[in-house]
Structure 1
Amino acid sequence: MAKDSSLFPTMDVFDRYGLRRIVNASGTESTKGASPVCKEAIDAVVGLVPHSVDMLELQSAACHAIARAFETEAGCVVNCSAAGIATAIAACMTGCDLARVEQLPDVTGMKDEVVLQRGHNITYGGQITQNITLAGAKVVEIGAATECGAYQLAHALTDRTAAALYVVSHHTVSSGLIDLQTFCAVCKLRGVPVIVDGAAEPDPTVFLRAGADLVITSMHKSFAALTAATVAGRLDLVRACMYQEKGIGRPMKVGKEGVIASIAAVERWASLDRPAIRKALEARLARGHDRLGQLPGITASIEIDATSQLFSRLLLHVDPSGAGITAYDVSARLWEQRPSIAVRSLMADIGLLQVDLRRADDATADYVIGSIERIAREASTASAASEPRETSPNLADLAEGGLKRFPLPLEPRR
């Protein structure tokens, strides 16, 4: 398919380095460069990066901005949510004791256990338990993968418990586990701080109101900043997070560009007209639903995000016997065209694709919808000799295969 230059009118950097142009209808994954950076963050970065700045002052400005926007005591900026988990756990173990900060990952004399529901033991591109053990802590799993009760949490909290980690993600088991409010209430009775990993979630105030002590939010995902994350919540614990820059936080330190971009993105987020944004998104989804629902072998529906309940996506069920193509192959052909389209294919093995249009304007949404229509129609009229594959490839193996091919062959234009 010919390149649609109208979607990328001035970005010669792609040609210069031989990079693929991508329309991201999958979400805000780091593997796709997360969200397009908002103008407010770009302007703030351009204004600051040519100059030197006192980082403690800059982090203090971030603290005040985060506290105002998220209606909490304090906040700081780290270089990503994975770093935020390791930093927050270290903070819960050391407090504001610099000698202990310097001692990690040796945890002698410290509380060193972190409680985690088994259904929250996920990979998001990396193993979440590795973020815990980076700080020297031990993971204490509770419950089963699909079931966990408050009594099991209460039993696991001991005088060795430094913190409890609660993961909010589409990767976690979505039912049968302890809800956040109950989780926080049980931990509060034992004086155990609750850390929420809400990396991709659009509204951290929900978790703070539920009783979380620290909430970690990716700035480069729903907030459209440069790569960074905020840690927001209790002042004493946020301050202890800052202490980690003298310890395990040093190899994962954030730069001035990440902090100032986060300040700008948080302030922008606080002023967004969310009802208007949601109304525009719902109109695009409705158009996509009406068009894609007419295709043979494809059932379209509009599905609210199960994790946040704050936005919706298109959900496509692809029946190979009627469509002449599998869900995985639809996603693969979208990726092969130029500009490439990424859709969420985590459930392609059971015939499901999700189309996320939050970052799309009307023209981009039409490009995505039109491309799916074209691929589906081509598949439905193809000869019976090209039968759809019976199974989809394993996504973990695909990711490993991609790493084996590094560095990829590119065709830069100098």
Structure 2
Amino acid sequence: MTISYEKFGLKEVINASGRMTILGVSKVSEAVLKAQQFGGEHFFEMADLSEKTGAYIANLLKVEDAQIVSSASAGIAQSVAAVIGQGSLFHAYHPYTEKITAREILLPKGHNVDYGTPVEVMVQQGGGQVVEAGYANMCSAEHVEMMITDQTAAILYIKSHHTVQKSMLTVKEAAAVAKSHQLPLIVDAAAEEDLFKYVAEGADLVIYSGAKAIEGPSAGLVIGKKTLIEWVRLQGKGIGRAMKIGKDNILGFTQAIEDYLAKGSESGVSMKTRLVPFIEGLNKIKGLTAQVVQDGAGRDIYRGSVQVTGEKSAKEVIAELKEKNPAVYTREYQANNGIIEFDIRSVNEEEMNKIVQRLKEIM
């Protein structure tokens, strides 16, 4: 049976938006596909597969334990349920019971963002109650500490380009507060590229997306303290049952982690080099001014930033880029300022030429 865009009446997509969930996040390698195929063609004792792959990944990452889940969002919900339930099977079965009194999850106000769904939705799904610390433009260690009560279950830190970057406490500072009050620190680092940094900085649980920087299949990873990971794993008998991941993606993701550690991801230097002819082509189009910019959160990611100054607005150009086949998706966060960003990590030279040609037609 042949699989194609045409079979289902789908448009091809050029993904210049980045590793975004709405576009299927990323492509997987042949090695990952083979691991997924092996998983799909064989049977396993699923509890054993979960524990053994977790132990294998933990050894690769030099952490106490690891658990593969269905997504980074599931990782947040199950981690919250874990720290609230404290390893109790009753609490896994009844995560919203009134018998649990410590449900508060402290979160810097500037971290309570919508990344496709609000962070607080995942916290609530795990049985937690968000308590915001600090202000939208500022949160210090003192702001977090003053909100701690006997009902506090954990501190949650969102490391993301979606969150407020300025005047925020660091992961190390959040870890120091958590440790001084004997609370776990959960770090959601879904799209981050460093799989070692946040545990080293004192986080007790760290959550990654499988399909973003790691370029695996749809999956999530929770790493950290062994006891806490065991509590996360226990949620498979509770809310995690509705978020279970298949054997094919468990093995595919494990392979993706191994490959990622061996090969890494594209460097910023490489991105800047590939962007040169793209930027030159865009600057030849009347009404567009293009330059290379670094990721706003300081990651080693470089993008094409295009200021739209013609008769059409940036929002109109973005809409027209999506209309035809292939549909071109861009980063739209600065459209109100007349700026369109192009993330080329998943875009090849041929696709960049298609984008330049499409923009010539639109402008």
Fold shared per TM-score above 0.5: yes
Change (3 A) 1:107 1:302: farther
Q: 1:305 aligns with which of 295, 299, 321?
A: 295
Q: 2:285 aligns with which of 283, 295, 298?
A: 295
Most deviating of 100-109 and 76-85: 100-109
Give the secondary structure class of the aligned counterpart of 2:146.
helix
Give the secondary structure class of the aligned counterpart of 1:15.
helix
The 5 Å alignment of 1:11-410 reads 12-274=3-265, 277-319=267-309, 323-372=310-359, 374-375=360-361, 378-379=362-363
TM-score, L = length of structure 2: 0.94
Percent identity over paired residues: 29
TM-score, L = length of structure 1: 0.83
Counterpart Cα distance in 2 of 1:365 and 1:66: 36
Amino acid at match of 2:250: V
Partner of 1:395: none
1:351-383: CA deviations, max 9, x gaps? 1111011112222233233333x14xx52xxxx
Counterpart Cα distance in 2 of 1:332 and 1:11: 31
Q: Is the 8 A contact 1:107 1:137 kept in 2?
A: no
Q: Is the 8 A contact 1:34 1:220 kept in 2?
A: yes
Counterpart Cα distance in 1 of 2:29 and 2:237: 32
Most deviating of 308-317 and 235-244: 308-317
Q: Is the 8 A contact 1:62 1:262 kept in 2?
A: no
Q: Is the 8 A contact 1:94 1:110 kept in 2?
A: no
Gapped regions of structure 2 (runs ≥ 5): none
Counterpart Cα distance in 1 of 2:67 and 2:187: 15
Structure 1 position 277, deviation (Å): 4.5
Q: Paired residues, what number?
A: 363
Structure 1 position 273, deviation (Å): 4.8
Gapped regions of structure 1 (runs ≥ 5): 1-9, 380-414
Amino acid at match of 2:342: V
What's the RMSD between the two structures over aligned residues? 1.9
Q: Is the 8 A contact 2:267 2:300 kept in 1?
A: no
Q: Is the 8 A contact 2:267 2:301 kept in 1?
A: no
Q: Is the 8 A contact 2:86 2:231 kept in 1?
A: yes
Q: Is the 8 A contact 2:70 2:219 kept in 1?
A: yes
Change (3 A) 1:152 1:278: closer
Q: Is the 8 A contact 1:114 1:162 kept in 2?
A: yes
Structure 1 position 266, deviation (Å): 0.5
Greater Cα radius of gyration, structure 1 or 2 = 1
Amino acid at match of 1:315: S
Most deviating of 164-173 and 10-19: 10-19
Counterpart Cα distance in 2 of 1:81 and 1:369: 34
Amino acid at match of 1:90: A
Most deviating of 93-102 and 217-226: 93-102
Give the secondary structure class of the aligned counterpart of 2:239.
coil
Give the secondary structure class of the aligned counterpart of 1:271.
helix
1:140-190: CA deviations, max 9, x gaps? 111111111211111112222111111122221121222222111111111
Q: Is the 8 A contact 2:314 2:336 kept in 1?
A: yes
Q: Is the 8 A contact 1:92 1:162 kept in 2?
A: yes
Counterpart Cα distance in 2 of 1:244 and 1:207: 23
